[in-house]
Amino acid sequence: MSTETGTVFVHPDGRCDSNDVGAGTRVWAFAHVLDGARVGENCNICDGAFIESGAVVGNGVTVKNQVMVFEGVTIEDEVFLGPGVIFTNDMNPRAFIKKHGNELLPTRVRRRATLGAGSVVVCGTTIGEYAFVGAGAVVTRDVPAHAFVVGNPGRVIGWACDCGLRLPASLICECGHRWANVDGGPEGGARLTLVGAAGQQDPDSAV
Ligand SMILES: CC(C)(COP(=O)(O)OP(=O)(O)OC[C@H]1O[C@@H](n2cnc3c(N)ncnc32)[C@H](O)[C@@H]1OP(=O)(O)O)[C@@H](O)C(=O)NCCC(=O)NCCS
Ligand SMILES: [Zn+2]
């Protein structure tokens, strides 16, 4: 049994109050997308997820079960949010002080990043493209692109490949991608640069 709103699939036990949801997106049982939330195309909003008014979710995003996405949070395209990921939007909440709009601290997850199950994102942070946050981590600071973060507080312990694997010290991934580290380690503004894609010949080994 299912109901369709345009080309948006909403499970009969799911609820989609927003009219700003893209084609191909599926909202499963007990998930709730509030009026005023923006969700792109081809997203999968799994059972029990919550997307609040003012939250923005891009295209092709996976929102696993029980994820909480609140106002002020922006999720870019093709991000993976594991089960039970929790965002926040008020750094110093009090039940008797209500905050809205600019009073909330914005959080952004850049495209193709992954947040592992049960991770918590403290507001005001930006998680970079292709970053990988391990299960149960608590993100308290900005995460550079491709950084691999675990623990509470979340610490950068290495780099993540496009494919999702943690890179070894050689920066050569099992998938065949070869990377170079610009400026030392992942902390301090360094960046990871792709120097060879899977299937390409390594120019250093060419004869
Ligand atoms: C982070 C992850 C990818 C493992 O990475 P990895 O580098 O292959 O992990 P390893 O097993 O080699 O561990 C490396 C170190 O990090 C630690 N570590 C691994 N995962 C960790 C985590 N989630 N939190 C804290 N520490 C972690 C390990 O204990 C190990 O520490 P040590 O070197 O002191 O022994 C995995 O643990 C994880 O969290 N995956 C996400 C799963 C998930 O949430 N999926 C959602 C969809 S179902
Ligand atoms: Zn790889």
Q: 158-189: per-residue pLDDT in tens?
A: 999 999 999 999 999 999 999 998 865 555 55
pLDDT-derived band at 11 (thresholds 50, 70, 90) equals very high
Residue 140 sits in a domain of what CATH number?
2.160.10.10
Kindly state the average pLDDT of the residues 24-41.
Answer: 98
Asked whether residue 87 is domain-assigned, the answer is yes
CA distance 149 to 180: 19
Whether residue 147 is contained in a domain is answered as yes
Query: In this structure, is residue 42 part of a structural domain?
Result: yes
Is 117 within a domain? yes
Residue 199 belongs to a domain:
no
**What is the domain extent for residue 30?**
3-168
Domains identified in the chain, total number: 1
Instruction: Considering every ligand atom shown, identify the ligand nearest to the alpha carbon of residue 146 and give its number.
Output: 2
Whose atoms come closest to the Cα of 164: which ligand?
2
Q: Which atom of ligand 1 is nearest to the CA of 164?
A: 3
Does residue 165's CB lie within 6 angstroms of at least one atom of ligand 1?
no
pLDDT score recorded for residue 184: 56
pTM: 0.92
Q: Which residues contact 205 (CB under 8 A, 6 or more apart)?
A: none
Let me know if residue 98 belongs to a domain: yes
- The stretch 52-59 carries a mean pLDDT of 98
pLDDT digits (tens, 9 = 90+) for 96-117: 999 988 999 999 999 999 999 9
